[in-house]
Structure 1
């Protein structure tokens, strides 16, 4: 995904600090939607708002700039992505810094639920999650403190499936799989445990609840 342009950054920084509502031309706002930094509200007046990724980028843009260490290269600006456990090697921050990023992203997603669910429900997945199933499920698991899989190690893996509005969640231990199911259910997902064919082990099929 390309880094946002200077114009897009200005629009993001000018968003309403409370609601994340955006102002700009139709073409500019549509560009932010394509970049997954904004979404168009389904109800009139069809205003545009920041997604959790957009909120995070806005916060990073407004934070005081730190002086980079001469021994370390300056990283290009990026967009937060929950770890699915399928990455060849995790990138970005670790430890307490990563925990803060995950917490901020989860809080942004809960606020997005409040703004976009017709009844303002925070405990039920919203439309954005239904169109970003793998990232949404991975964020729910990471926000619950569960570890994503590392190369050659244990942890959860979230992948897409041919079924509509469903992801597969794998974890090598039965206890870990049950912990994943509990975390997703607390986050408003419904889960069912299945056995993969040809001795592939147990896995979860998870879908966002509608009611």
Structure 2
């Protein structure tokens, strides 16, 4: 279906708000994206359009190379410019910490707006459907927005990963984390931040005796 997109439609998709997926464009382009299944129109006024999962994939997919009978160099995917929450698996710190802090604040405000827009009661204190569909990204954003620092490929801070438990993430203190008491305090702070963001949290011990936090967005 991505091949049906025109240049104008791709521009609108590419300019969608990073977290909420809200679209801005002419009525004709938005209507066409809705018909193609790349967007949906919110039932509540002002009836803004948002990307569907297909639209999200179209935004991050590299453009298809033009047809050619002669082999050429393999196309290199263009950067999509989409905000990505840091999970602690990264190998390098942000190049500009101040700019990163601004991006995180904007992304968190966008997520709160998405909560408001997608709940009949407009409640922003509870996770929304997008967060349940992107558990690791959502939990990592909540932690980073609360001021916690993710680890770097296992060095300091925290790491957010998928959990063996269904519909949950696992948060653990990265290694080395200093004293055991310090690691426990840091983990407790992460648990408190997720709980304040509307997640259900519980602490457990793994097979190596280390404490981990299991967090999941409640279905209510």
Provide the TM-score with structure 1 as the length reference. Answer: 0.70
Whether 2:188 is the aligned partner of 1:178: answer yes
Whether 2:199 is the aligned partner of 1:196: answer no
Counterpart for residue 219 of structure 2? 210
Pairwise CA distance, 1:8: 2.1
Stretches of structure 1 lacking an aligned partner (at least 5 in a row): 32-37, 58-74
> Compared with structure 1, are the counterparts of its residues 194 and 175 closer, same or farther at alpha carbon in structure 2 (3 Å cutoff)?
same
TM-align CA RMSD: 3.3
What SS does the corresponding residue of 2:37 show, helix, strand or coil?
A: helix
Q: Is the 8 A contact 1:103 1:143 kept in 2?
A: yes
Stretches of structure 2 lacking an aligned partner (at least 5 in a row): 25-29, 60-77, 178-182
Counterpart for residue 48 of structure 1? 49
CA deviations on 1:68-104 (whole Å, 9 max, x unpaired) are xxxxxxx9442100000012335x5431100000000
Taking the aligned partners of 1:135 and 1:143, their CA distance within structure 2 comes to 12
> Compared with structure 1, are the counterparts of its residues 93 and 102 closer, same or farther at alpha carbon in structure 2 (3 Å cutoff)?
farther
Q: Is the 8 A contact 1:124 1:210 kept in 2?
A: no
Counterpart for residue 85 of structure 1? 88
Residue from 114, 121, 146 that aligns with 1:112:
114
> Compared with structure 1, are the counterparts of its residues 47 and 192 closer, same or farther at alpha carbon in structure 2 (3 Å cutoff)?
same
More displaced stretch, 113-122 vs 149-158: 149-158
> Which has the higher Rg, Structure 1 or Structure 2?
2
> Compared with structure 1, are the counterparts of its residues 138 and 13 closer, same or farther at alpha carbon in structure 2 (3 Å cutoff)?
closer
CA deviations on 1:127-186 (whole Å, 9 max, x unpaired) are 000000000000000000100001352111111123222100001401110000110011
Provide the TM-score with structure 2 as the length reference. Answer: 0.67
Whether 2:18 is the aligned partner of 1:8: answer no
Pairwise CA distance, 1:25: 1.6
Pairwise CA distance, 1:26: 4.1
**Equivalent residues in 2 for 1:106-185 (5 A)?**
106-151=108-153, 153-171=155-173, 172=177, 173-185=183-195
What SS does the corresponding residue of 2:200 show, helix, strand or coil?
A: strand
Taking the aligned partners of 1:14 and 1:156, their CA distance within structure 2 comes to 30
What SS does the corresponding residue of 1:157 show, helix, strand or coil?
A: strand
What SS does the corresponding residue of 1:49 show, helix, strand or coil?
A: strand
